[in-house]
Every structure is written in structure tokens, then in C-alpha cells.
Structure 1
Amino acid sequence: MTLEQVSKSSVLIAGAGIGGLAMALSLLRRGIDCDVFEQASELREVGAGLWISMNGVRVLRDLGLTEQVEQNCIAAERRSIRLWNTGDRWPLYNRSSDAARNQPYLLLRAHLLKILVDGVRELKPGAIHLSAHVVGFSQDDEGVRAKLADGSEVEGRALIGADGAHSKVRLGLIGKIESEYTKAIAWRGLVPVDRLAPHQREPEVATWIGPTAHVTAYPVRWQNTVMMTFSGQVDHDDWLLESWSEKGSVEECLKDFEGWHPDIIELVKNVDTLNKWGLFVRPSLGTWSKGCVTLLGDACHSMLPYLGQGVNMALEDAFVLARCFEENPYDLAAVFKTYQGLRLDRTTKVAKSAAGMLPIFHNQALCKPETAGDYIKTQWAPDAMAARYDWIYQYDAATAPLH
């Protein structure tokens, strides 16, 4: 489908990331027409692991994607906290324990994107428009006109900005929102497991914690290869770009993990490609919507990765917003008011909780093994874990009351 063929009754979605595609699939499954506009010329994702917790798993189930997702997952046998320098292990749960009911899906972002793209195209083959960057919009009582980078415009009845932390839709809706550097950076990469020693290949989700950094590592499947993800966050005074795809060097990364356990050093040395980015926060928005335009995912509540909830909040947003459209398809003001009322407080609380994890992951009590043990047993005790995660994981976007 060409841009000229986009129906004026279509819901326009800016951004073909996970949030935008989940939004499109949620609408199309309800018989609501939509089109997705993506600035990239091809849907190609840089390699990164993805942690879909139970609240996100429920959305994927209700989108009919469970089977495809599970085919691409590796089920972790256990989850552990490990000490940065000694490698000592504190098991949190294994697959057979009660706590494993909250076991996440572990897969590659590229896999989930492909599954969502296929789902959208199956219902509407021409729904995704590439090389179509939404850079602004205008609206009136008749609807909205999305302005694209090439100067063209597309008319629709609503516009959803799922265009990420640097959202152009948010800029047009609210104006410039300054971000604040948190004095931490993130590293990420993938390591083919055949480069690692046998004990490093185990199907475990391990979070290594230290005084000024932490690393999460778990296995994912890429085609016929098992890869170990490397995701490290490090205290860093230097300001860096707020970019997910900034290339980093192995030498630079090794400096950030000097003195760490040999297993972490080996992960870094064997990584295929390393990306780094600065971690930024934005203040919570007071409103997400104006007229027939609203926001979704990182565009309205970008959050730090310390609870693994960025993608899960986007999935929740998409599903709840689609339910609001289905309930009241002809009154956009009511749709967006209900959606914001249901989502703003929850996402603000999750973002605040994610930011609050940094001093827990990076703590001076972890300098020495003799103080680290008591600290870890306290912070990762079952009741502390339940208080931290259960209210997030127990949410169900499909059954949460709309009123």
C-alpha cells in the first residue's frame, strides 16, 4: 500500500518498534484500521536480549503470539545473584520453584520484532510504511495530518506517537522535554556460547552486582546459534550520547570492569559487537494527549533498564489503548482520557521504581565479601523480591478494568 492509499479513517502510528507494532496488531485484531510509519528503510534490529516479564507475557498471549515466542525462547533453569569479584552465587529460584511462576521470556529483540511484523502483515499486508519518518503533525476537527521528513503528509483520524525517547510526536504535542544524564552508562552485546567455557554456557539468568556496576547475562537463541547476552551498567561521570547504537570498544569496556571475575572479562573479550549508551531520565509528563494525538511507550515514559520494564510497559500501553478504542471507537477524547487515566500513574511508578534500583545494584556494601553476603540476603530475600516485583508482574492489561 502506498501513502496515497492510506485511509483517512486509519489510526496512524509513528514508529515500528515493539510498542508501535504491538499497537498495530492490537488494533487490527479488533478490526480497527491502522498504518505504521517507520523512519528506517528496513526493519533491522541491532542485537540485544529482551526480558519479557509476566505482565508482558500476558499481552503476547492475548495477541496470539505465545507459540511463536516460545519457539524462540530458551527457558532458564535458574536465576541467581552473583558477586562481581568472587563469583559467589546466591540462588533466587530454579524452574521447579514457586518463584519460577514469574519466569520471563528471554529472547532477542529482533525475534519479537519479526513476530510482530509478521502478525501485522498477515492481517494487513501494506500496513507498515518504511522510509516514512513522522517529524510533525497538524490537526483539526476532521482529524490529523502527519508530516513526513520528505515533505509529504498523510491524513488519518488519530496519531499515536510510538517513536521512542526522541519522539517527534511528543515534541509537537508538548514541546521540548530536557533529559537528565544519570551518571551511568550501559553496555550491551552478544557472545556466541561456543567461545565460552562449558560452565559459562549454562541456562542461567545471572545478575552480577558490585560497588559501581552490575551485569546481567542470560542465553538467547539466534537462528541455530545460542548466544549469551551481556548487559552491563556502570557508574560514569562522563556524559555520553543517549543512543542505543553507539559503538564501543572492548578495551574501553574492559576498563569499566577492571578487577571483575574472569567469567565477566571473558564475556567482554568474546563479544561480537559492543554498543554503549548514556542512561538518561526525563520528568514524568502531566499529559500524553491533545485532540486526536497521543503517546505510547518510551515517547511518554522512557525508563532506566534496571527493572527490565521498558518493553513491558510499551506492550501494556498498546493493549490497554486498543481496548479503549474498541470500547468507544468514535470518541477520541474519551478514548485518550481513559487510556491516560489507566496508564499514567502506573508507568510513572514503574519508572520511579526502576530509577530506585541503581543504588541497590551498585552499593559499597559489595566491596568486600564479608559485608556483601548479608547485604544480598537482605535485598534479595523472598519478601523483598515480592515487594519489589509482584505489583508489576501481577498486572494484566487484558483484564484491568477500563473504568
Structure 2
Amino acid sequence: MSKPRIAIVGAGLGGIAAALLLRQEGFDSVLYEQAPAFARLGAGIHVGPNVMKVMRRIGLEPAMEAMGSHPDAWISRNWDDAAVLSRIPFGDYARRTYGASYLTVHRGDFHKLLADTVPAGGIRYDKRLIGLEERDRDVLLRFEDGTSVEADIVIGADGVNSVMREHMLGTELPRYTGYVGHRAVFPASALAKYDFSFDQCVKWWSEDRHMMVYYVTERQDEYYYVTGVPQAEWDMSKAWVQSSQEEMYEAFAGYHPMVQSLIDACSDITKWPLLERDPLPLWSRGRMVMLGDACHPMKPHMAQGAAMAIEDAAMLARCFKAVGAEDYETAFALYRANRIERASRVQKVSHDNTWLRTNEDPAWVFGYDVFEVPLVEPVRAAA
């Protein structure tokens, strides 16, 4: 199986990164995405130095540098008086200390850059996976449109509601955390009327809720906020719903006038449930393996969810190179052994929502280089 047929379920950031990194190691793949087409969704994303090192390997670091905003620092502020709780330096400090830049970008722009790098025909849209059949020599994937494909190896990068995870571990809804996130992207020019100097990257904290705010373009012409707000219940049949300024004013009553101005500046607001799962007992079975939110979904409070998926993709490609596609089970075991501790730690810190609230050292996250860390061997079962 020197040239295995690799199917990747899900063309999000982690899935596309896996396709591009596998291609660099000589393994071709096809991405199967349930969405009918690409869309620039209204969300921002942090791209830390740990991710930029992967973009460097793919060859997209210069394009990312030109696309994103380069904040000088992550600033944490107290909710009512704007007192600075922490200031974590980025900019030139990040390049010197962690080996790459720290960016904030529009998630859709980042996604499009990756997707446009995939060779023609490498992404098949409107392919909603509905079934998997494990056979002696391959796996049969069945899609909602009535088509099917055969693959030697299947990578599940299909998110928190992964069909791959469900097939491997049974049906179980992700756990609603009791928190929602409001999202809004709006022109930075809408802030010109307010007499404030808005931070490039800031998180506003109170005891039970927060608002993260940053620019998403190099020109700093688009501003973004995302929140974490307690809400007792969520209809799990809905991926997201519309929110409103009125709801935001109520959620952030008493917050500093700078936060009130952010709410006033934008009326197009969506609301999303924050979901997670307990660490899974397995990440692979037979010819199937998972990455990203499919196997370790987490709250977004470290801004490292997509980063963990992209790191997973890089480590999986590295393990295929080290072991070879013929011995995929050993490659999968090596992959999990070299990702489980880090992913679980990030999952826990994200759950606790303490990241960078105080002046801590983030080097264990940002200084990590997935291509350079020594590989650890999987623990072998006793004979």
C-alpha cells in the first residue's frame, strides 16, 4: 500500500491541513466536505506561533503574514474599570521567543487560503457522510447523495458532531457546557465615533463571563468579538441562532463603556453553544483515525481549538512518514501517543477558562514545534 487511497472526512482547517501535509510526504488524499460550497463565515481566529510553524512547512507563512493582524500583545482587562490584569507580549517578542509570529485573522480568509492550496479535484463538496463499512481490505464510505467511495485509510476531521466518532464509539451527543458564545464581525470604521483607543487584542473578564475582541485583517479594517456567557439550556438541534444587541446589553450590563460601544457598533450577532466531550478512549480503529474536534473538542477559551487540529494533522503526517502507510495501525498508535497529553492539557485549560488572565508564561503552547519535538513510543500492552 505504498500509495494508499486516503479519504479525509471534513474540509475544515484541520482536514485541509492534513491533506496538504500528507501530500508533502508523498501521500495523496481526497477531502469530502458536507457543505455545498465554501463560505466566508463571520468569525475570527487566533493563529499562534505554534500554528505559524505549520504554515511555514506548508509554504503559506508569507501569505498568512500579509493577511492577518499583528497584535503587539494579548491584554486582559477587568470588566468594569478596564484595569489591565495581564499583558502578554507578541509582535517581535513572539518571533524571537517562540520562533514565529502571532496573528489574528478572519477564519474564512484563513480557510480559503488553505482550500485554494489544495490541488484541483482534491475537495469534493456536498458530500455528507451517512455510513461507514469496514471491510477486510478497505473502508466503504456512503454519502447522503447516494454516492460511495472506497478508501484504504479514512481520517475523520468532521468536528464535534463527528460521524466517524459515532461509528467508532456509538451515538452520544456532545455535552452542552452551559455557556454560549456570541460572535460579531463588523467594520472597524464603525468605532470612529467613540472616544476610545481600542486594543488590537483584548479579553474583558468578569467572574462568570467574558468578551474577546481583536482585529481580523492586516489593514485592521474589521473588528471581531466573541463571548462566553452562561445560559442554562440550549436546543441541541440548532448549531447556532441569531442574537441581538438587546441580548448583548443585558448580558454585559455594567461592563466598561468601551464594551458597550462594541455592542452598539454592530447589530448582526450570532449565538453558538459551547460544547465539549470527555477525553475519548480511542482515537483510531482499524483503518480509521480522527483528529481535531472529532476526538478532543474543547471550549474556545484558549483560542487553540483549530491549532490542536492543525497540530494533529502535522503529527499524523509525520507518523505516516516515520512508519509508512502499510503499517497504519502503528502510525495511528504513534500519532495518539504524541498528541494525547498535549491535547488533553489544552482541553483542560480551555475548560477552566484561566488562560492568560494573569501574567503567565505561554511558552509551552506557543514555543511548541510539532515537527521538532522528539517522538515518544506508544505504550505497549503487556504480553
TM-score normalised to structure 1 length: 0.86
Q: AA paired with 1:206? A: V
Contact 2:73 2:201 in 1 (8 A): yes
| 266, 269, 277: which one aligns with 1:271 | 266
Q: AA paired with 2:165? A: R
Shift of 1:280: 2.1
* 1:273-288 matched pairs, under 5 angstroms: 273-288=268-283
Cα RMSD (Å): 2.2
Shift of 1:180: 2.4
Greater fraction of residues in helix: 1
Q: Where does residue 381 of structure 2 map in the other structure? A: none
* 1:138-149 matched pairs, under 5 angstroms: 138-149=133-144
Shift of 1:64: 0.9
Shift of 1:281: 2.0
| 336, 344, 351: which one aligns with 1:340 | 336
Q: Where does residue 366 of structure 2 map in the other structure? A: 393
Shift of 1:269: 2.2
Q: AA paired with 1:117? A: A
* 1:200-215 matched pairs, under 5 angstroms: 200=196, 202=198, 204-215=200-211
Between the aligned partners of 1:43 and 1:179, the Cα distance in structure 2 is 25
Any stretches of 5+ residues in structure 2 without a counterpart? Answer: 377-383
| 7, 20, 23: which one aligns with 1:12 | 7
Q: Where does residue 39 of structure 2 map in the other structure? A: 44
* 1:376-387 matched pairs, under 5 angstroms: 380-381=358-359, 385-386=360-361
Shift of 1:302: 0.4
Contact 1:185 1:276 in 2 (8 A): yes
Contact 1:205 1:218 in 2 (8 A): yes
Shift of 1:393: 2.1
Between the aligned partners of 2:333 and 2:305, the Cα distance in structure 1 is 22
Between the aligned partners of 1:126 and 1:347, the Cα distance in structure 2 is 32
The size of the alignment, in residue pairs, is 369
Shift of 1:345: 2.3
Q: Where does residue 5 of structure 1 map in the other structure? A: none
Shift of 1:258: 1.2
Shift of 1:270: 1.9
Select between 198-207 and 281-290 the one with higher mean Cα deviation.
198-207
Shift of 1:99: 6.2
Contact 1:12 1:35 in 2 (8 A): yes
Between the aligned partners of 2:237 and 2:365, the Cα distance in structure 1 is 26
Q: AA paired with 2:30? A: D
Change (3 A) 1:399 1:193: same
Change (3 A) 1:199 1:14: farther
Change (3 A) 1:244 1:392: farther
Contact 2:213 2:223 in 1 (8 A): yes
Shift of 1:186: 0.9
Change (3 A) 1:91 1:402: closer
SS at match of 1:331: helix
| 315, 336, 345: which one aligns with 1:349 | 345
Shift of 1:221: 1.7
